[in-house]
Structure 1
Amino acid sequence: MTAHGPVAPLWLCAACSAPWSCPTRRQQLLHEYATTPAALALYLSSYYVAASQDISWAPAGTLHRRFLGWLP
């Protein structure tokens, strides 16, 4: 378990207060899902959907880049 988990409804990192997913968590996720990148995309998509409901005022493109746009 990581300390860099999301804190809703603002979706900030619990450990460093950066917008989730923070750089540390991104690196952890890339390592954890190195052999299953499609599973990582699905995992992050579920967070994207939840965050889009909590942060409904944010432009969809911004949230997409934040949750999925950094994937290789």
Structure 2
Amino acid sequence: MTGPQRRLAPAEVEHLPMRPLWLCRRCGQPWPCGAAKLALLAEYREVPVSLFLYLAGCLHDAIDDLHRLSPSVTGSATDMFDRFLGWPARHTRAYRVSTTGAADIEEAPS
């Protein structure tokens, strides 16, 4: 072989969940970790509703997995909700639904 031998770096592990523990495969923090949140925000930037749907599915799976491992350590519903669904609302243009009726909506001046 001519020239210097090039050493290939191992593929970087992405910040993905390690099931059934729901810890980050790369950094070991509870998933979604900070880096995973940034990656998810970038990936779903144009479709924030899809981000919420994806994370809702992850929340469901995490509750099921963690409860099977140890029912007493699953965590409170509030903590689990905040971990999976609380943070995106602060960082996306989350859609808000108004509870006002059509009669309460003012018409724009013509």
TM-score, structure 1 as length reference: 0.92
Q: 1:58 aligns with which of 65, 75, 82?
A: 75
For residues 53 and 69 of structure 1, the distance between their equivalents in structure 2, rounded to whole angstroms, comes to: 19
Q: Which residue number in structure 2 is paired with residue 12 of structure 1?
A: 23
Structure 2 unaligned segments of length 5 or more: list them.
1-12, 68-73, 90-110
Higher RCO (Cα < 8 Å, 6 or more apart): 1
* 1:9-62 deviation per Cα after TM superposition (whole angstroms, max 9, x unaligned): 110000000000000010010011011000000001100000011122321111
Equivalent AA in structure 1 for residue 60 of structure 2: V
Q: Which residue number in structure 1 is paired with residue 41 of structure 2?
A: 30
For residues 8 and 61 of structure 1, the distance between their equivalents in structure 2, rounded to whole angstroms, comes to: 21
Q: How many residues were matched structurally? A: 71
Structure 1 unaligned segments of length 5 or more: list them.
none
Give the deviation of 1:4 after TM superposition: 0.5
Equivalent AA in structure 2 for residue 60 of structure 1: A
Equivalent AA in structure 1 for residue 85 of structure 2: L
TM-score, structure 2 as length reference: 0.61
Equivalent AA in structure 1 for residue 39 of structure 2: Q
For residues 55 and 63 of structure 1, the distance between their equivalents in structure 2, rounded to whole angstroms, comes to: 11
Which segments of structure 1 move beyond 3 Å, counting only runs of 4 or more? none
